[in-house]
């Protein structure tokens, strides 16, 4: 449970703890990032690659090796990181806001909303790349709104109702996805099945930039609301009595989380389990103060997805697996283990 | 085999439809799939859905004596339902040129048009032999066969197309990759440096897959302007037009051998 810290001293202690946690996670992320850059389906010389990563030009890499490293591998690692930040932070936000450990973009139907948005963009405005994240954001927001409206009973939205509403919206949108795929030709369906399971390859610089930007905005907005979320975890009424603008915080968190989920789905499809596993791991390790959980989830999420994608693109090279298969493969058993251990 | 002459046939795959016409039994076809568009008469027949989702009700309503199936994906329940209506199911999925010839012969026997089947098979064999003759001793060209660009798919060890490329005087750079249609690594594609790239496109694919995938844009094939678009219907449907595909591939890879 959260205890409310009032003294300046306690606030300083939290700041120091958050700083320490972030420093450790940042170091882990850096190590994962470099390790991921060193391996791939094509072997690059270790020393020269490390040298090239530091930004030096003359490291003895051939132009082809430079192309592999800088045009294919690094953009993909960056995208994996951005997607990890988006999904893990969105999960942490939903879980805090809804006081429900199972609240996760997928379970709430938000990811499917974003997926339907992306598919609509692909079918109707196929050539305009920017339409994908925009439609995905709109889809995520619409799904969130519908879920929340459905969940709102006379006594307000209870966590149970919300999850139930999420399940209903998810199933409804899943059939929507099936419907849209039947309207496509066979070759596009194949790329779509891959995309639906999460695929980080073949990103464009603009899509990468949009995802990184959305990750940054989303994390900052959620972090700014972390203190209110702490209070709301005591119960919305209590939080209201303590001066939290509950309604405003709720809308802000929903919009920020939709932005995060929309950007990640538009660029890489549905990478599952990240929003569930990463915040859980973070809370188990560092406690449930949202001021720490949100920042830590962002960093740990980035490392987790980069790691998973590294496995996806190397384990059966030169073939590839969808990254979503790996996150589920790592995520599901880990999640069961964590539940059992408690 | 069936004791009576087959008068009503339903085909559940475009390549099987093409084979039925090629062996001279097209006039007995009463239904086929949404994708069966060749020869032109095939378009006029009753449509029963697509290969993966055929409508059993419509099939039964057409009162066929036999249903030709290319995939075993839903066979068990499907065969049972048709069996209850005394409709036979014949499964064949030709994997490559030789198996396609065998299917043609088998269809000829089944529909009692063996003479016409033999003639058609003979003609096709003559054309494929002519390619082999023309390419005798010609050094092979390395080829990347791009099944789809985003994400990147190619042909692997188990694809009959790997063999077809070889017959056309090419050597697929992904010939040893496991699977028929592997999802291929961008990095590996960049390192593959093929001399030629094949883009199967057009036909029922429309203009999908008409651009070279980004990791291949700096390959020798692109630099030397050796990217060839070939009608996907020739290549992805193992039917009689596979020979058209073979000819198109061979002429693209070795224009010098066909002057």
Lowest mean pLDDT among A150-154, A253-257, A280-284, B195-199: A150-154
Shortest Cα distance, chain B CAs vs residue A252, angstroms: 35
DSSP code for A312: H
What pLDDT score was predicted for residue A341? 65
To the nearest 10 degrees (0 to 180), the angle between helices A323-341 and A290-314 is 130
How far apart CA B249 and CA B259 sit, in angstroms, is 15
Shortest Cα distance, chain B CAs vs residue A281, angstroms: 31
Out of A67, A187, A318, closest to residue B184 by CB: A318
Shortest Cα distance, chain A CAs vs residue B129, angstroms: 31
Question: Which of the four pLDDT bands, split at 50, 70 and 90, describes residue A1?
Answer: very low
Neighbour tally for A323: CB within 10 Å: 29
Instruction: Name B66's bridge partners.
Output: B9, B88
Indicate the helix (H) or strand (E) that contains B133: helix B114-134
Higher pLDDT, A165 or B23: B23
Higher pLDDT, A237 or A93: A93
Is some CB atom of chain A closer than 8 A to the CB atom of B139? no
Q: B174 vs A317: CB contact, 8 Å cut-off?
A: no
Q: A317 vs B188: CB contact, 8 Å cut-off?
A: yes
Span A214-257, pLDDT tens digits: 999 999 999 999 999 999 888 888 888 888 898 899 999 999 99
Span A20-58, pLDDT tens digits: 999 999 999 999 999 999 999 999 999 999 999 998 888
Nearest-Cα residue of chain B relative to residue A68: B187
Q: Give which of A336, A236, A329 is closest to A280, Cα–Cα.
A: A336
- What average pLDDT does range A251-278 have in this prediction? 92
Q: Give which of A281, A302, A306, A303 is closest to A292, Cα–Cα.
A: A281
Q: Which of residues 174-193 of B touch A (CB under 8 A)?
A: 174, 177-179, 182-188, 190-191
Q: Where does residue B231 rank: exposed (0-12), middle (13-18), buried (19+ CB within 10 A)?
A: middle
Out of B177, B208, B218, closest to residue A187 by CB: B208
Could you tell me the domains of chain B? 9-128 (3.40.50.1980), 139-258 (3.40.50.1980)
Instruction: Name A4's bridge partners.
Output: none
Is some CB atom of chain A closer than 8 A to the CB atom of B154? no
What sign for the dihedral angle of Cα A80, A86, A87, A88? positive
Q: What residues in A contact B185, CB-CB < 8 Å?
A: 40-42, 313, 317-320
Span B108-138, pLDDT tens digits: 999 999 999 999 999 999 999 999 999 999 9
How far apart CA A60 and CA B98 sit, in angstroms, is 49
How far apart CA B30 and CA B67 sit, in angstroms, is 10
How far apart CA B110 and CA B117 sit, in angstroms, is 11
Report ipTM for this prediction. Answer: 0.81
Quote the percentage of chain B above a pLDDT of 90: 80
SS (H, E, C) B18-30: HHHHHCCCHHHEE
In which residue are the tokens 């985003």 written?
B150
CATH number of A71-341: 1.10.3470.10
Ranked by mean pLDDT, the top range of A299-303, B72-76, B198-202 is A299-303
Span A168-198, pLDDT tens digits: 999 999 898 888 887 766 656 666 777 777 8
What pLDDT score was predicted for residue A185? 63
Higher pLDDT, A62 or B2: A62
Quote the percentage of chain A above a pLDDT of 90: 50
How far apart CA A314 and CA A38 sit, in angstroms, is 11
**b or e along A219-234 (b: 16 or more beta carbons within 10 Å of the residue's beta carbon)?**
bebbbebbbbbbbbbb
């Amino acid at each position: 449970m959260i205890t409310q810290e009032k003294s300046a001293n306690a606030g300083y202690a939290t700041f120091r703890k958050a700083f320490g946690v972030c420093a450790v996670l940042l170091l882990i992320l850096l190590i994962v990032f470099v390790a991921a850059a060193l391996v791939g389906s094509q072997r690059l010389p270790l020393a020269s690659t490390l040298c090239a990563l530091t930004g030096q030009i003359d490291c003895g890499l051939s132009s082809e090796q430079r192309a592999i490293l800088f045009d294919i591998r690094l953009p993909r690692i960056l995208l994996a990181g951005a997607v990890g930040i988006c999904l893990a932070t969105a999960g942490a936000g939903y879980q805090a806001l809804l006081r429900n450990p199972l609240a996760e973009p997928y379970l709430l139907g938000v990811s499917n909303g974003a997926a339907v948005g992306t598919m609509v963009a692909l079918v109707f405005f196929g050539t305009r790349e920017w339409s994908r994240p925009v439609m995905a954001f709109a889809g995520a927001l619409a799904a969130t709104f519908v879920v929340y409206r459905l969940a709102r009973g006379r006594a307000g939205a209870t966590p149970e109702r919300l999850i139930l509403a999420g399940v209903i919206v998810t199933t409804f949108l899943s059939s929507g996805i099936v419907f849209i795929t039947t309207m496509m030709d066979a070759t596009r369906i194949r790329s779509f099945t891959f995309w639906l399971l999460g695929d980080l390859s073949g990103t464009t610089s603009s899509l990468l930039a949009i995802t990184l930007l959305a990750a940054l905005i989303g994390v900052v907005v959620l972090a700014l609301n972390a203190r209110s979320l702490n209070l709301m975890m005591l119960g919305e009424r209590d939080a209201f009595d303590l001066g939290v603008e509950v309604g405003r915080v709720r809308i802000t968190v929903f919009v920020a989380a939709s932005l995060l989920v929309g950007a990640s789905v538009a660029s890489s499809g549905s990478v599952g389990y990240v929003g569930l596993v990463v915040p859980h791991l973070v809370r188990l390790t560092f406690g449930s103060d949202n001021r720490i959980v949100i920042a830590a989830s962002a960093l740990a999420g980035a490392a987790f997805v980069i790691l998973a994608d590294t496995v996806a693109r190397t384990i059966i090279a030169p073939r590839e697996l969808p990254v979503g298969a790996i996150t589920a493969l790592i995520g599901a058993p880990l999640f069961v283990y964590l539940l059992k251990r408690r | 085999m069936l004791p009576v002459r087959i008068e009503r046939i339903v085909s559940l795959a475009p390549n099987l439809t093409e084979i039925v016409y090629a062996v001279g039994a097209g006039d007995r076809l009463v239904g086929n799939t949404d994708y069966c568009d060749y020869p032109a008469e095939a378009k006029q027949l009753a449509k029963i859905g697509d290969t993966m989702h055929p409508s059993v009700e419509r099939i039964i309503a057409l009162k066929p004596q036999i249903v030709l199936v290319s995939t075993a994906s839903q066979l068990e329940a499907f065969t049972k339902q048709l069996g209850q209506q005394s409709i036979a199911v014949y499964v064949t999925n030709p994997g490559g040129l030789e198996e396609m010839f065998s299917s043609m012969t088998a269809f000829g026997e089944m529909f009692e048009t063996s003479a016409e089947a033999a003639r058609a098979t003979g003609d096709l064999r003559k054309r494929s032999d002519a390619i082999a003759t023309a390419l005798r001793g010609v050094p092979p060209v390395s080829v990347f066969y791009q099944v789809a660009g985003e994400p990147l798919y190619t042909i692997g060890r188990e694809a009959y197309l790997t063999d077809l490329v070889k017959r056309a005087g090419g050597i697929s750079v992904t010939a040893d990759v496991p699977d028929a249609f592997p999802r291929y690594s961008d990095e590996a594609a960049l390192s593959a440096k093929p001399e030629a790239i094949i883009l199967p496109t057009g036909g029922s694919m429309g203009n999908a897959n008409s651009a070279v995938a980004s990791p291949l844009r700096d390959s020798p094939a692109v630099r030397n302007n050796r990217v060839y678009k070939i009608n996907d219907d020739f290549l992805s449907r193992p039917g009689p037009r596979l020979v058209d595909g073979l000819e198109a591939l061979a002429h693209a890879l070795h224009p010098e051998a066909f002057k």
